[in-house]
């Protein structure tokens, strides 16, 4: 199993805090560092400072050496696909070829409204996401003069320089929860399919549909990596687990009327508990076909938990 650290910095993390976390993840052996791409502050208090994902990643790219970097996931509604291709290419150059690009259709209506960003119905957002995936491939892979007529975006006689450091392009991750359209887009355009907020059973079912779609279009299913974003809450023993559970509950109480219910609904699909319990859950995900776990850390200022996860999971699961 491969592991990435994933944080939710819209909870008020400064750039310096995010850089420290990326450097910590690099030092303790995570293969990648991902952050969310959100402008609204949640879960927890709604008034915490937020930062722009790709501006932060560009900065981190210049101040780390080995760890791969990305946003999980960037909503297609936040950035025009052509501009987004430029942003990713620039960050790829700044990192020396360590960027991964994960895209999704977006879901949080409120944070779009707060910034004046359009938030159409899911069918329109999915159309735009499919345009984006084709545009990323086209601008990164096709020669000058490439044109494209999509559902919502039109490109005429493109010239795109420089191309990404990684050839033919940075790894493309499609995020979803196993919907038929997300699986279809992953089979056609992605290097990796990432399941969000899903337990092992849901992962196994979605990966089965992904296999079938790959076979249908003539693609080897093994060429699409499979991953999951799973919450992480670990302790060295039961007492430490209990302390971290209470810290997690305290964090979400500002926004949740029943924080305990919020946590209990998620715990069955999280990498949670003592090291033995966490490794057992990793094994269950592995049996479902997961090859990489993005450990979603909702207590990112607790660096000791990150060090514990690295020590007990990386190389031991």
Tokens 């090859």, residue?
Answer: 291
Residue 119 DSSP SS3: coil
Q: Quote the CA–CA distance of 266 and 257 in Å, as a whole number.
A: 16
Tokens 């609204």, residue?
Answer: 40
Residue 113 φ/ψ, nearest 5 degrees: -60, -35
Q: How many structural domains are present in the chain?
A: 1
CATH code at position 288: 3.20.20.30
Q: Quote the CA–CA distance of 174 and 129 in Å, as a whole number.
A: 10
Instruction: Give every residue of the chain whose pLDDT is below 50, as ranges.
Output: none
User: 95: domain range?
Assistant: 2-313
Residue 118, pLDDT score: 92
Residue 254, pLDDT score: 67
Q: Quote the CA–CA distance of 217 and 211 in Å, as a whole number.
A: 10
Nearest to 134 by CA among 122, 150, 121, 146: 150
* Cβ 183 vs Cβ 221: under 8 Å: no
* Cβ 184 vs Cβ 212: under 8 Å: no
Q: What is the DSSP letter of 163?
A: P
Helix axes 81-95, 122-141, angle to 10 degrees: 50
Q: Quote the CA–CA distance of 313 and 278 in Å, as a whole number.
A: 8
Residue 268, pLDDT score: 92
Residue 152, pLDDT score: 95
pLDDT digits (tens, 9 = 90+) for 23-49: 999 999 999 999 999 998 877 778 889
């Amino acid at each position: 199993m491969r592991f990435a650290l994933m944080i939710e910095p819209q909870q008020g993390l400064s750039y310096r805090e995010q850089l420290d976390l990326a450097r910590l993840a690099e030092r303790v052996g995570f293969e990648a560092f991902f952050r969310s791409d959100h402008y609204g502050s949640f879960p927890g208090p709604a008034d915490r400072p937020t930062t722009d994902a790709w501006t932060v990643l560009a900065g981190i790219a210049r101040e780390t050496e080995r760890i791969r970097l990305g946003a999980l996931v960037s909503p297609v509604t936040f950035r025009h696909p052509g501009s987004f291709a430029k942003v990713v290419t620039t960050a790829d150059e700044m990192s020396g070829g360590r960027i991964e690009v994960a895209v999704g259709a977006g879901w949080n209506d409120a944070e779009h409204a707060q910034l004046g960003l359009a938030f159409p119905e899911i069918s329109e957002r999915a159309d735009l996401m499919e345009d984006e995936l084709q545009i990323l491939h086209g601008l990164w892979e096709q020669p000058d003069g490439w044109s494209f007529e999509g559902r919502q975006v039109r490109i005429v006689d493109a010239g795109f320089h420089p191309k990404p450091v990684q050839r033919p392009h940075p790894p493309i991750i499609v995020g979803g929860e196993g919907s038929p359209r997300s699986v279809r887009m992953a089979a056609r355009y992605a290097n990796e399919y990432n399941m969000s907020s899903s337990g092992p059973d849901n992962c196994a079912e979605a990966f089965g549909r992904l296999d079938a779609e790959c076979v249908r279009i003539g693609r080897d299913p093994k060429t699409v990596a499979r991953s999951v974003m799973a919450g992480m809450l670990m302790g060295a023993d039961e007492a430490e687990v209990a302390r971290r559970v209470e810290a997690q509950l305290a964090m979400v109480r500002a926004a949740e009327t029943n924080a305990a219910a919020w946590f209990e609904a998620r715990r069955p699909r999280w990498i949670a508990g003592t090291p033995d319990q966490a490794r057992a859950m990793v094994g269950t995900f592995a049996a479902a076909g997961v090859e990489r776990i993005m450990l979603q850390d909702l207590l990112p200022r607790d660096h000791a938990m990150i060090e514990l996860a690295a020590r007990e999971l990386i190389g031991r699961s």
